[in-house]
Every structure is written in structure tokens, then in C-alpha cells.
């Protein structure tokens, strides 16, 4: 979902990362569910999106249940 919201906001990964205080690679990892941001970073990302009238729920940083189940079975 983050990628969809970021694109809707017209931001690059680097621009969103700069506003949130993290690098482009971190935003890429969050979008791919390779990692989950700290609460502080999640709030900073949501604030950056909110400035552009895009609302995101903190739970949307968590991977979909199917991704979690696949990882557990490996």
C-alpha cells in the first residue's frame, strides 16, 4: 500500500525518505515488506502523506497475512 500512496502523492522513494528522515533504500524495503519501519518513522511517513491529503493507517505497514504465512512455512 505504501507504494500506491507514495505514487498518488507524486513522491519518489528518495523524496519520501528525505521527509521521513530515512534513505531511499529504507522506503523500498518498507514497500516490499522486507522490513517494517519504527513507529517514529511510520508516523513521519504518514505525516508526509497527510500533507498531500493522503491518509494511511499504521497497520498498512504490516505485510499481508498471506506473506506472513509464506515466510513462516519456509
| 7-53 pLDDT, tens digit each | 999 999 999 999 999 999 999 999 999 999 999 999 999 999 999 99
**Residue predicted with more confidence, 58 or 65:** 58
Spatial separation of the C-alpha atoms in residues 8 and 1, rounded to whole Å: 11
pTM value is: 0.85
- Domain annotation for the chain: domains and CATH numbers: 2-72 (1.10.260.40)
Predicted pLDDT at 64: 85
Banded model confidence at residue 66, pLDDT cuts 50, 70, 90: confident
Asked whether 31 and 1 are in contact (CB, 8 A), the reply is: no
Concatenating the DSSP letter of every residue in 1-59 gives: -HHHHHHHTT--HHHHHHHHTS-HHHHHHHHTTSS---HHHHHHHHHHHHTTT----GG
**Residue predicted with more confidence, 71 or 5:** 5
Amino acid at each position: 500500500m505504501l507504494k500506491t500512496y507514495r505514487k498518488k502523492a507524486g513522491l519518489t522513494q528518495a523524496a519520501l525518505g528525505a521527509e521521513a528522515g530515512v534513505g531511499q533504500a529504507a522506503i523500498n524495503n518498507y514497500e516490499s515488506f522486507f522490513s517494517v519501519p519504527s513507529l517514529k518513522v511510520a508516523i513521519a511517513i504518514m505525516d508526509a502523506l497527510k500533507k498531500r491529503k493522503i491518509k494511511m493507517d499504521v497497520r498498512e505497514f504490516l505485510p499481508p497475512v498471506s506473506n506472513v504465512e509464506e515466510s513462516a512455512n519456509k
